[in-house]
């Protein structure tokens, strides 16, 4: 982003410029990623995680029924939900790999903004 030298001297205007920069950067970053969510049984968890090339690591949560069954006990969740922002260009390959690894209920959605 290019700003005129006079803006550098005005703190309030520079704050607005920085906000605009964050918004524009976030929108542009979101264009290169697509959000993929899926479910999988515990037996397939490692394989499904390996098939999801997300930004850092996928978010993993036990499914609700398993969470309520496990309350107050030492039992282990049977099924998990995963979520990650994967490269848009790899979407078809990722969906095929997730399915082959044992993922079900695969959902794809568009992020509107992405900030690292």
Q: For residue 29, what pLDDT is reported? A: 85
Return the pLDDT at 5: 72
User: Can you give the residue ranges of every domain in the chain?
Assistant: 1-31, 33-109
Query: Tens digit of pLDDT for each residue in 102-114?
Result: 999 999 999 988 8
**Rg of the chain over all Cα atoms, to the nearest angstrom:** 20
Most distant pair of Cα atoms in the chain: their distance: 64
Dihedral angle computed from the Cα positions of residues 62, 36, 90 and 112, in that order, rounded to the nearest 10 degrees: -140
Name the one residue in this structure whose structure tokens are 């999801």: 52
Domain 33-109 in CATH 3.30.1490.20? The answer is no
The backbone region for 62, taken as left when phi is positive above 0, alpha when psi lies in -120 to 50, beta otherwise, is beta
Find, among 13, 4, 29, 36, the residue nearest to 105 by Cα.
36
* More confident site: 116 or 21: 21
* pLDDT tens track for 43-98: 999 999 999 998 899 999 998 875 555 555 556 678 999 999 999 999 999 999 99
């Amino acid at each position: 982003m290019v700003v005129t030298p006079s803006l550098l001297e005005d703190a309030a205007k520079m704050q607005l410029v920085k906000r605009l920069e964050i918004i524009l950067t976030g929108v542009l970053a979101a264009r290169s990623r697509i959000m993929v969510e899926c479910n999988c049984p515990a037996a397939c968890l490692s394989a499904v995680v390996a098939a999801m090339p997300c930004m850092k690591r996928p978010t993993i949560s036990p499914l609700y029924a398993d969470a309520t069954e496990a309350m107050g006990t030492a039992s282990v969740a049977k099924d998990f939900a995963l979520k990650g922002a994967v490269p848009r260009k790899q979407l078809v390959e990722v969906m095929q790999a997730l399915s082959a690894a044992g993922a079900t209920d695969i959902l794809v959605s568009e992020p509107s903004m992405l900030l690292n």
